[in-house]
Amino acid sequence: MKSVVLLAEAVEDIEQARSFYDRQEKGVGDYCVTSLLADISKLGSLDAVHRRQHGCHRLLAGRFPFGIYYLDGTHEIRVVAVLDLRRDPGWIRRRVSARRG
């Protein structure tokens, strides 16, 4: 099983999701973060089975409309972005491409 590492930008994405959903209804932001982290925690055992998009693999989050973009390395999986899929596709492409290094 590979370790899963979140880049600082991905952590920031998750915090932005929390803020957005807490503005909609108090407590939903925490639920969103818990749900996203549960999805991310499964990546270590999945062995990059997800479709590639913008140079990364993309896992669709289970409960919220987010894409979890990651790179599969030899010993670890690096989560580079956790983005709201309702955003402009061009914005998503630019964001993921800039982060994958």
pLDDT at 3: 94
Q: Is this prediction's pTM over 0.85?
A: yes
pLDDT at 33: 99
Instruction: Give the 3-state secondary structure of the chain.
Output: CCEEEECHHHHHHHHHHHHHHHHHCCCHHHHHHHHHHHHHHHHHHCCCCCCEECCEEEEECCCCCEEEEEEECCCEEEEEEEEECCCCHHHHHHHHHHHCC
Residue stretches of the chain with pLDDT short of 50: none
Range of the domain at 81: 3-99
CATH number at residue 62: 3.30.2310.20
pLDDT at 46: 78
Structural domains counted in the chain: 1
pLDDT at 90: 98
pLDDT at 44: 87
